[in-house]
Structure 1
Amino acid sequence: MSLPDKAFPVSWDQFHRDARALAWRLAGLQTEFTAIVCITRGGLVPAAIISRELNIRLIETVCIASYHDYLNQGELSLLKGISPELTANGGEGVLVVDDLTDTGKTAAEVRAMLPKAHFACVYAKPQGVPTIDTFVTEVSQDTWIFFPWDMGFTFQEPIAKGGKG
């Protein structure tokens, strides 16, 4: 298993700015969200930022595992569902938050549980875009996003010398 050729490393500062940009977009919708459902684990950090910015206090998780080895998206596994109070009425007024939509499989799984919810991601790849409602940055399908919680401080080889970014 090797990583894709295109790497998109995201620092904590950049991720915070991008999550706040997503909050601005959501605030512009003039929709009154009553709760956030974050898709774990990636949705935890943006949900915290968005909940602060939009003053949403009720936060729930839906736990779905799809990247079992950090490189390849595998079979989806529902580890924890959503409370009946939030699934009532199809999830109307609920904001679903994730860090990334890649193929859209996870979003489609959650959308089946909350068909009336609004789906938002910080980053989106083309295959996943049709499954969500709002996002900030689109990257190509063959790009691997390195989130700040997955990285440490190491030297990066320059691209001209064969580095991946």
Structure 2
Amino acid sequence: MSLPDKAFPVSWDQFHRDARALAWRISGQGKDWHAIVAITRGGLVPAAIICRELGIRMIETVCIASYHDYSEQGELRVIKSIGEKLLENGGEGVLVIDDLTDTGKTAKIVRDMMPKAHFATVYAKPQGRPLIDTFVTEVSQDTWIYFPWDMGFTYQEPIAKGHRG
């Protein structure tokens, strides 16, 4: 794995603060959101925080797999789509939550499914930024964000990596 030019390690405390800040920004828009769609896997943690803060009970996931090695994003494939009910009316009144928009490829896939949904991420990079409606922190394109679930005292390979049959 080639190392990025810049590293941005994020602790659990910092991520929680940033996700709550995202909830504040979303709540300030005065809309009545009826559901959240979390883009898995990265969107699960911020979606849990945001649904609590905004009192949203309807939570759905869209599962998009990328074949990559943590240094480059590969081909994307939808492995679980969004329920038909939330797709009605282009996703109007639905929040789509992810941890990060990088190139914007994942957001584009979901935006095509739900063009009227509101897209929010905790972090945004310049290439993906045009596809996002609300975010908290922008980082440069050449920055690698180390999320707390990816780290121990040093970077931790996922347990399942290398254990597939």
> Any idea what SS the aligned residue of 2:121 has?
strand
CA RMSD of aligned residues (A): 1.1
1:8-63 Cα shifts (integer Å, max 9, x gaps): 00000000000000000000000110000000000000000000000000000000
Partner of 2:160: none
Give 4+ residue runs of structure 1 displaced > 6 Å after superposition.
none
Partner of 2:36: 36
1:57-85 Cα shifts (integer Å, max 9, x gaps): 00000000125322210111111000000
| 1:76-95 equivalent positions in 2, closer than 5 A | 76-95=76-95
> Any idea what SS the aligned residue of 2:74 has?
strand
Partner of 1:125: 125
Instruction: Measure the CA separation in 1 of the matches of 2:39 and 2:129.
Output: 16
TM-score, normalised to structure 1's length? 0.92
CA positional deviation for 1:154: 3.7
Aligned length: 155
Pair 1:154–1:75, CA change in 2 (3 A): closer
| Pair 1:58 & 2:24 matched | no
What amino acid is the match of 1:121?
Answer: T
Report percent identity of matched pairs.
79
> Any idea what SS the aligned residue of 2:50 has?
helix
Instruction: Measure the CA separation in 1 of the matches of 2:154 and 2:116.
Output: 43
> Any idea what SS the aligned residue of 1:74 has?
coil
What amino acid is the match of 2:112?
Answer: A
> Any idea what SS the aligned residue of 1:42 has?
coil
Partner of 2:114: 114
Unaligned runs of 5+ in 2: 156-165
Partner of 2:7: 7
Instruction: Measure the CA separation in 2 of the matches of 1:74 and 1:19.
Output: 27
Instruction: Measure the CA separation in 2 of the matches of 1:110 and 1:96.
Output: 8
> Any idea what SS the aligned residue of 2:75 has?
strand
Partner of 1:160: none
| Pair 1:72 & 2:72 matched | yes
| Pair 1:20 & 2:17 matched | no
Partner of 2:153: 153
What amino acid is the match of 1:26?
Answer: I
TM-score, normalised to structure 2's length? 0.92
What amino acid is the match of 1:12?
Answer: W
Partner of 1:101: 101
What amino acid is the match of 2:141?
Answer: Q
Instruction: Measure the CA separation in 2 of the matches of 1:66 and 1:124.
Output: 18
